[in-house]
Amino acid sequence: MGMGKIISFCNQKGGVGKSTSVINAGAYLSALGRKVLLVDLDSQGNTTSGLGLKPREIQETSYLVIMGNLPATKAIKNTELAGMDIIPANQDLAGATVELVHFEDRDLKLKKALEAEKQNYDYILIDCPPSLGILTVNALMASDEVIIPVQCEYYALEGLGQLLETINLLKNHLGAHIQIKGALLTMFDRRNRLSREIVKEMRRNFPGYVFEAIIPRNVYLAEAPSFSKTILQHDPYSHGAKAYRQFAEEILKIDGYKN
């Protein structure tokens, strides 16, 4: 194992399938033999609770890690899947937005905290909060790459320009080393003309930057978190499961892994 790659899943719009994508991409990357760490950076803790951890009962969280009060190693929890761990989040994280302002190195707190973990994992996947605030900036500054989940619905492209602008700003002014790995189309409904139009429009506007894998709107995907399961555990034969497997395989192929 070389140095792991840090990838942020980011879109300032909520409800685009960020947490679902982090959980299930992580599950399939680990099933395909990679060692994966998920970092929940959203105070709602959907990635945390979706894996069966109870945010309110956890003491060691991403909040303490990003504030520099706890080494990342001490916050890492195992999940039910061998090869996939998580740094969980809870409501405490909401306070970090205000508290981080007082630090000189406020944009680099997460980067510094995760540096030591890069040698222990092939992939570190960060679930960003739905905003372009200081937590998302920390995630992007810490990341090698960003994946942007985009739902196949009206206004899907809205906010995309702003996010790409923010990424360029961080690269040009704060020295971020982040590359755009691609946009992941989510909540696709092939019976819906608008859904199909958005796929076309995304591929036309961002050639070479849209993953082949398209995540469908799928009841099994939607209900899996309420069973505290990844789709791989909940229903591995569903369309949603096949799509996330394809997505994980695509990531590995882009990164030059032979599977």
With the C-alpha atoms ordered 184, 72, 5, 119, is the resulting torsion angle positive or negative?
A: negative
Domains of the chain are 5-182 (3.40.50.300)
Of 18-32, 154-168, 174-188, which gets the smallest average pLDDT? 154-168
Confidence band, pLDDT 50/70/90 cuts, at residue 259? low
Distance of alpha carbon 253 from alpha carbon 238, whole angstroms: 23
Question: Closest by alpha carbon to 121, among 201, 7, 211, 244?
Answer: 7
pLDDT exceeds cutoff 80 at 48: yes
Encode burial over 113-130: b for 16+ CB neighbours within 10 A, e otherwise. bbeebbeebbbbbbbbbb
Place of tokens 């570190």: 124
Taking only the tens place, the pLDDT of each residue in 193-250 is 999 999 999 999 899 999 999 999 999 999 999 999 999 999 999 999 999 999 999 9
Taking only the tens place, the pLDDT of each residue in 127-176 is 999 998 999 999 999 999 999 999 998 787 877 888 888 999 999 988 88
